Structure 1
Amino acid sequence: MLTIAMPKGRIFEEALELLRKAGYALPPEFAESRKLMIDIPEEDMRFILAKPMDVVTYVEHGVADLGIAGKDVLLEEERDVYELLDLHISQCRLAVAGLPNSRLNDIAPRVATKYPNIASSYFREQGEQVEIIPLNGSIELAPLIGLADRIVDIVSTGRTLKENGLVEFETIANVTSRLIVNPVSYRMKDEKIDELVERLTAVIAS
């Protein structure tokens, strides 16, 4: 049985559609289930539904053979997994944003983000020494209350930034969801995994 960890929400729905187009018989009620672990015996598959940041952990530790994770998570976490395929779903970008016409504080510039590793690397490459302030939610609030000069966050349509009076300054990376695999699983279940990759590749190409 192949065990696949998938994040709930938009990525889950788009990934389900991909798998169905690839010929996998997943029941219609699958997306509405409140179960966190769902077996599909006819396809010899098990799905684990998890938070996006946890998917990579499950795959790295081998409790899931495969996972679907955003490139943002993979860049931030740097885990021991292989990236097999760009699924071209849930497209967005990691961006630097802040209040319009504002500049970085010369003395102690501060950047709020839930991506501290990515943000640190980016500003270091720009020759800027900044203080990273880790936040988990409502990142857009940080510049408004004077907590930070800039934020680094995921941007999809830009609507949330606009509604909060913020503007996007730079794009750090374009983000899509990727199919990842545990290295040991890839050796042990290579035929099944390669078949899955081939079927998904054909769907993406079409």
Structure 2
Amino acid sequence: MNNVLTIAMPKGRIFEEAADLLRKAGYQLPPEFDDSRKLIIEVENEGLRFILAKPTDVPTYVEHGVADIGIAGKDVLLEEERDVYELLDLRISACYLAVAGLPGTKMNDVAPRVATKYPNVAEAYFREQGEQVEIIKLNGSIELAPIIGLSDRIVDIVSTGRTMRENGLVEYERIVDVTSRLIVNPVSYRIKDNQIDDLVTRLSKVVSVED
């Protein structure tokens, strides 16, 4: 049996904060780990292999079993709806999903449009509000959509709110709080349960101390 635990992680803020948690949990990660440009990093002394991926791809790698576990934002998990188990709220990279738009504007009564990177989340939210909207999927610069008249509202991730403010937008509704979660492939959880439970236990102690 392969005893190496493969972890899919996104680069950037989540990667840095997750690496810090792992070190505090007692895992010996090499100093060059944080600055490596490799896509796969082996940490043989800990029996760990890391796959560095785009945030939206992490749940896909875990679902298909090329990674045993992963670290992904709750926003990605809600949007992707992959077949994975959520084991632990790591309480890092806190932010939230919100509805925003130009100040003092109302939704179009005839054909309201919402631009977002999160079409599934946005559609579900407005459906729960009893509103039928047209969802416009964008991949970047969501704040542009209401400014250029493409949409009445946007649904986007908010950390400090600075980007929205600098583009003259205001927040109308807060949809859901977002933090990064530890997820696992269901088959891996059965095969490597001892290793995974040990990881969860160690990380849980760090998270509870920092809470």
Counterpart amino acid of residue 17 in structure 2: E
In the alignment, is residue 137 of structure 1 matched against residue 144 of structure 2? no
Unaligned runs of 5+ in 1: none
In the alignment, is residue 14 of structure 1 matched against residue 17 of structure 2? yes
In the alignment, is residue 168 of structure 1 matched against residue 193 of structure 2? no
Number of the residue aligned with 1:100: 103
Report the CA distance between 1:36 and its aligned residue: 0.2
Number of the residue aligned with 1:125: 128
Counterpart amino acid of residue 163 in structure 1: E
Counterpart amino acid of residue 75 in structure 1: L
In the alignment, is residue 200 of structure 1 matched against residue 200 of structure 2? no
Report the CA distance between 1:106 and its aligned residue: 0.3
Q: In 2, Cα distance between the equivalents of 1:203 and 1:114?
A: 32
Counterpart amino acid of residue 92 in structure 2: I
Counterpart amino acid of residue 180 in structure 1: I
- Aligned residue pairs total 206
TM-score by length of 1: 1.00
Local SS of the residue matching 2:34: helix
TM-score by length of 2: 0.97
In the alignment, is residue 2 of structure 1 matched against residue 5 of structure 2? yes
Number of the residue aligned with 2:60: 57
Local SS of the residue matching 2:56: helix
Counterpart amino acid of residue 142 in structure 2: I
Q: In 1, Cα distance between the equivalents of 2:82 and 2:43?
A: 28
Deviations 1:161-195 (A, max 9, x none): 00000000011000000000000000000000000
Find runs of 4+ consecutive structure 1 residues off by over 2 angstroms: none
Report the CA distance between 1:29 and its aligned residue: 1.1
Deviations 1:21-65 (A, max 9, x none): 000000111010010000000000000000000000000000000
Number of the residue aligned with 1:78: 81
Counterpart amino acid of residue 199 in structure 1: R
Counterpart amino acid of residue 61 in structure 1: H
